[in-house]
Structure 1
Amino acid sequence: MLDTDTKRRIDSCRDILVGKVPDPKSQVEQITIALIYKFMDDMDAQSEEFGGKRSFFVNGFEKYSWSKLLAPSMGGQDTLNLYSEAIGKMTENTHLPALFRDIFKNAYLPYRDPETLKAFLKEIDGFSYDHSERLGDAFEYLLSVLGSQGDAGQFRTPRHIIDFIVRVINPQKHERILDPACGTAGFLISAWKYILDQNKAHKPGDKLTPDERNKLAANIHGYDISPDMVRLSLVNLYLHGFTNPHVDEYDTLTSEDKWNEHADVILANPPFMSPKGGIKPHKRFSIQATRSEVLFVDYIHEHLSPNGRSGIIVPEGIIFQTGTAYKALRKLLVQNSLVAVVSLPAGVFQPYSGVKTSILILDKRLAKQTNKVLFVKVGNDGFALGAQRRPTDHDDLPAAEQALTAFFSNPAGFEGNDMAQIVDRENIVKNADVSFSADRYVKALVENHRYDIVRAGELMRLGVETLDPRVFPNENFELWSIPAFDKGAPEIAVGASIGSAKKVVKAGDVLLSRIVPHIRRAWVVEDSKNKLRQIASTEWIVFSSERVIPEYLRQLLVSDQFHESFMRTVTGVGGSLSRANPKAVAEIQFPLPPIEVQREIVAEIQGHQQRIKYLEREIAECAQLIRDSIDRVWKS
């Protein structure tokens, strides 16, 4: 559990650095290097305290010890020069374990401000090395600021999704565990913690013998193509108790060095994006492809042991893309290892990406024993699906885990429900696209109840306050105007520049345009990123109610059925003088499902929207291939 003081100290380190090191990834690297530097000195001090000798800062490296660095006699520039020189020379210190030398590889100080460095080192000095989980928890909190890992389609996997997959896969103490695109080692550490917890009497892992614990650590492996990610993984594992972590800088898709290494459990959230021109893999893959998501899933399938299991987060392209490689991959999995597909909500990776994802569960042993595949639909993962990802009371993951566990233990006796349905493998293979979309095979259950019929007015916000921004001429406002809607974001405007009174709105409000021709526009107000007062054009009708999810209401207000009734309320002489009458709009009636059903519908719509994006990208790629075909003629 991360304590308040440690969290404050990490936040303070980032606050100190942000003016000189604005990139979060670089901040993490600087804090990582400084922590390991400090911890090496702590371990030297502990060794001396118990009658031993220093082993890190020796043979000419004594001058770089932490105590020398923070000596009161050191001036700011002297400290900067010594620290900068020290981190650059640490790889030459033969008394450091290979792990620590790897951490300092290519380390440097990216700024030259003595005051910033002194304040930063003073904060780092508050940390001390111990063998508890506290430091590991602290480092994971630090890593959480990374979020998106650049343009490679890598996104930090939320902890609750990692832990869910690990519980479902159920790794054991004797099994070899691998993440071939391990990032910061989140899956590996979750698996380690899970196994320790499964082998405890009073505290995690106390039922394991020292030999079993050592073998468990030796069986946990990770690869990553990025040296920066490898460095962070090594530190993360070390701070979680791994004295000799096994994470290698390795290109899983183009190198053959580790091709013959297999694993009993593979856990991964591999990169979704491919470079321009695609990946150029070696020839040992079963599926001939250039897309990274296809190659990674193929790699994982092929590198499972005969009874191996895997949990893989995949983009929607793996689920329904109709390209030859995608279909060949799905057929390979269905016939050999696929046992379950878990559909996740589209907002799981918010705020870094709205990409819709699913989890493929592979189990080579179970796949031989049953001709069924379980499809599970998770509508809520315990957090709101917007950018803020606030915790909610709605969480389908426990029920999904229960369904998966029941299916794995007794596939023949499993009875489907609203969330989980079984499909014959034969039906999937017979489908022309070999789609992994459950909607292709499972008929939706018919609702046994009628939804309440409500008036639109019941969901409108009454007594909406108005404000004249000109009274506050120097204040910046966040203006949700009709033109801003067409640009995709509210505008920031100073009060003196806004020519008329506006409605005061707040996050969660749903705005419906009533002016012709700007009709069929609905907008959900989001939290102000700049903490400004939020105002909106008086041409918006404002909706807000605890009975409806904002995104569901937005979709309903632009639906064909509502729009048909809405247009009957429009009055005026035509053109920009025509407007819908809010009182008449308030009388429009429509069915309102329960909140849970609304959530399901929103998740379904977001899945379809994501599919449209993938298809648009595929169309663009095909169009380019057509142009390339003609270009070859001209070039010849």
Structure 2
Amino acid sequence: MINGEIKNKVDSLWDDFAAGGLTNPLEVIEQITYLMFIHDLDSADNVHRQESEMLGLPYKSIFDGEKNIGGQTIDGNDLKWSVFHDFPPQKMFDLMNHFVFPFIKNLHGDENSAYSRYMGDAIFKLPTPEFLAKVVDELDDIYATMDKIRKNEIQSTGKNERFDKSDVQGDLYEYLLSKLSTAGRNGQFRTPRHIIKMMVELMNPTPDDKIADPACGTSGFLVTAAEYLKNDREKEKAIFYSKEKKAYYKSSMFTGYDMDRTMLRIGAMNMMTHGITDPNIQYKDSLSDQNIDADEYSLVLANPPFKGSLDYDTVSDSLLKVCKTKKTELLFLTLFLRMLKIGGRCACIVPDGVLFGSSRAHKTIRKQLVEGNRLEAVISMPSGVFKPYAGVSTAVLIFTKTNHGGTDKVWFYDMTADGYSLDDKRTKVDEDDIPDIINRFKNLDKEKDRKRTDKSFFVDKKEIVDNNYDLSINRYKEIKYVPVKYPPTKDILAEIMKLDEEANKDLQELKNMLEK
């Protein structure tokens, strides 16, 4: 997590945007993200240049040479943050409006590219040169503080440097997104980053995976999966020591869909600043006929929106044929099964109602997971995980598409703590089940003899079937009651009378003192 110093600086920056007339939280995040993206393009370009020089490889910077932008020519180096941040406010403002912003909007020249589509209507909205100069200075200060935090972390923990840089910046993105104090109009809300990390680590992505999130929002799952691959030395070698694998990683390995254009832009820039140079992020209603993906992905990671009900007319017929419902949480589960290829895996978050709902649609999708595929795990999470956005209880479902069954036993885990308080403040606490969840899931052979009173245990498929495919952990968990022995009633009464007598004595002493 970022520290209080950075939070205070971000809060100050946020207040400056409000004073400048920009009060819509999504709009503020979008504008800050544009500037962070411009800064990070410069930083990433410098890193790539240094790496190429160390390896003795040729390198062509995106800033090299003269650039023709809007019929005017400019030295590409002037578009670098490290150059223009020292310009006078008016010159910087004109450069940003006429050159830098058009440059990032057209970074991928293909008008049909996904990048061009979601950047096509992007607008730079900072109102005055003085305001832009102030924001640039504040962002420079924030980046300097992040570098200080990262260096301290490296010295104290010995973590991989590249991991820490992205980790701190990812936390900054998360803190910016935390400013969205209410769920979006489509029912989406921010997935805590530590929950995303847990799910990615449980699924253990490989360089051969094709990964999708059909409700990607800010691309948190995709970015985290990409970073997970980069931070595993063997996986990193497999990717970056192969020209084909590297190209695959930077373009078509990750796919994300969303219906919110602002979120798409933020998500796309988030991925690009994490090294996915040509992200496949598209504006698409995943549940409609716009999405024809089937049998394509080896891994789906998602926290789909729990919007409630949709009109049948807006939902793909292929989904309704499997599960006749208007509920988005059930339709997304059906979609995941369709999008996965045989052997493909999924880790997704669902509201608790999916686990025990009694409607025909609820039972149908649960039966499909248990009977038609291989349901591996149900991780019950406490309701406070998504505060302050929502207090809904949720669970993580992990399953593999087989189309021919394969469920023998299902592993259940009762998460009661995630490392943060379960109130609206979500402050850091010592209690954290996540390391235990990861350890137990990766060693399921040691789970077979656990009792139902433990944090985790297996449940046979037959028992689940006999319970109408109910997947709520409370259906199977056994609570160990410890009998409490109380003293005899006469002893309790005697103790009460003794306390009452002492209280009366104290009151009398107080009264005597006041009368003197």
**Partner AA of 1:62 in structure 2:** I
**Partner AA of 2:65 in structure 1:** R
Q: 1:306 and 1:276 mapped to 2: Cα distance?
A: 29
Task: Choose from 185, 192, 196 the match for 1:158.
Answer: 192
Change in 2 beyond 3 A, CA 1:82/1:72: closer
Q: State the match for 1:187 in structure 2.
A: 221
Which one scores higher on RCO, CA 8 angstroms, separation ≥ 6?
2
Does structure 1 conserve the Cα–Cα contact (< 8 Å) formed by 2:342 and 2:402?
A: yes
Question: Would you say 1:115 and 2:152 are equivalent positions?
Answer: no
Does structure 2 conserve the Cα–Cα contact (< 8 Å) formed by 1:80 and 1:112?
A: no
Q: 1:145 and 1:91 mapped to 2: Cα distance?
A: 21
Question: Would you say 1:214 and 2:247 are equivalent positions?
Answer: yes
The offset of 1:313, in angstroms, is 0.4
**Partner AA of 1:16 in structure 2:** D
Q: State the match for 1:33 in structure 2.
A: 34
Does structure 2 conserve the Cα–Cα contact (< 8 Å) formed by 1:339 and 1:372?
A: yes
Task: Choose from 101, 106, 120 the match for 2:121.
Answer: 106
Which residues of 2 match residues 151-300 of structure 1 at below 5 A? 151-200=185-234, 205-206=236-237, 208=239, 209-211=241-243, 212-217=245-250, 218-260=252-294, 262-274=296-308, 277=311, 280-285=314-319, 286-300=322-336
Task: Choose from 350, 362, 369 the match for 1:314.
Answer: 350
Does structure 2 conserve the Cα–Cα contact (< 8 Å) formed by 1:79 and 1:118?
A: yes
Q: 2:312 and 2:139 mapped to 1: Cα distance?
A: 43
Q: 1:144 is paired with a residue of what secondary structure?
A: helix
Name the one with the larger helix percent.
2
Q: 1:330 is paired with a residue of what secondary structure?
A: helix
Change in 2 beyond 3 A, CA 1:45/1:268: closer
Unaligned runs of 5+ in 2: 54-58, 148-160, 488-492, 498-502, 505-516
Q: Which stretch of the first structure deviates more once superposed, 38-47 or 340-349?
A: 38-47
**Partner AA of 1:105 in structure 2:** G
Q: 1:260 and 1:247 mapped to 2: Cα distance?
A: 17
Does structure 1 conserve the Cα–Cα contact (< 8 Å) formed by 2:114 and 2:282?
A: no
Which residues of 2 match residues 36-55 of structure 1 at below 5 A? 36-38=37-39, 53-54=64-65
Change in 2 beyond 3 A, CA 1:63/1:9: farther
Unaligned runs of 5+ in 1: 455-564, 570-582, 585-636
Does structure 2 conserve the Cα–Cα contact (< 8 Å) formed by 1:179 and 1:188?
A: yes
Q: State the match for 2:443 in structure 1.
A: 406
The offset of 1:57, in angstroms, is 5.8
Change in 2 beyond 3 A, CA 1:451/1:365: farther
Q: 1:160 is paired with a residue of what secondary structure?
A: helix
Task: Choose from 57, 62, 82 the match for 2:74.
Answer: 62
**What RMSD, in angstroms, separates the aligned Cα atoms of the two structures?**
4.0
**Partner AA of 1:267 in structure 2:** L
Does structure 2 conserve the Cα–Cα contact (< 8 Å) formed by 1:343 and 1:359?
A: yes
Question: Would you say 1:332 and 2:403 are equivalent positions?
Answer: no
Question: Would you say 1:23 and 2:24 are equivalent positions?
Answer: yes
Q: 1:95 and 1:283 mapped to 2: Cα distance?
A: 35
Q: 1:45 and 1:192 mapped to 2: Cα distance?
A: 21
Q: State the match for 1:633 in structure 2.
A: none
**CA offsets 1:490-520 (integer angstroms, 9 cap, x no match):** xxxxxxxxxxxxxxxxxxxxxxxxxxxxxxx
**CA offsets 1:192-214 (integer angstroms, 9 cap, x no match):** 222233334xxx82464233343
Question: Would you say 1:436 and 2:437 are equivalent positions?
Answer: no
The offset of 1:119, in angstroms, is 1.3
**CA offsets 1:128-186 (integer angstroms, 9 cap, x no match):** 9x995536742551343223442322111111111111121222221111111111111
Change in 2 beyond 3 A, CA 1:193/1:141: same
The offset of 1:438, in angstroms, is 2.5
Change in 2 beyond 3 A, CA 1:437/1:421: same
Change in 2 beyond 3 A, CA 1:453/1:28: farther
Does structure 1 conserve the Cα–Cα contact (< 8 Å) formed by 2:388 and 2:423?
A: yes
Q: 1:57 and 1:2 mapped to 2: Cα distance?
A: 40
Does structure 2 conserve the Cα–Cα contact (< 8 Å) formed by 1:7 and 1:138?
A: no
How many residues of Structure 1 are paired with residues of Structure 2 in the alignment? 449
Q: State the match for 2:421 in structure 1.
A: 384
Q: State the match for 1:359 in structure 2.
A: 396
Change in 2 beyond 3 A, CA 1:374/1:72: closer
The offset of 1:63, in angstroms, is 8.9
Does structure 1 conserve the Cα–Cα contact (< 8 Å) formed by 2:38 and 2:104?
A: no
Q: 1:158 and 1:320 mapped to 2: Cα distance?
A: 24
Q: 1:110 and 1:321 mapped to 2: Cα distance?
A: 46
Q: State the match for 2:150 in structure 1.
A: none
Q: 2:467 and 2:174 mapped to 1: Cα distance?
A: 42
Does structure 2 conserve the Cα–Cα contact (< 8 Å) formed by 1:38 and 1:66?
A: no
Task: Choose from 428, 433, 444 the match for 1:396.
Answer: 433
Q: 1:287 is paired with a residue of what secondary structure?
A: coil
- Identity across the alignment (%): 27
TM-score by length of 1: 0.61
Q: Which stretch of the first structure deviates more once superposed, 243-252 or 207-216?
A: 207-216
Q: 1:394 and 1:277 mapped to 2: Cα distance?
A: 43
**Partner AA of 1:284 in structure 2:** S
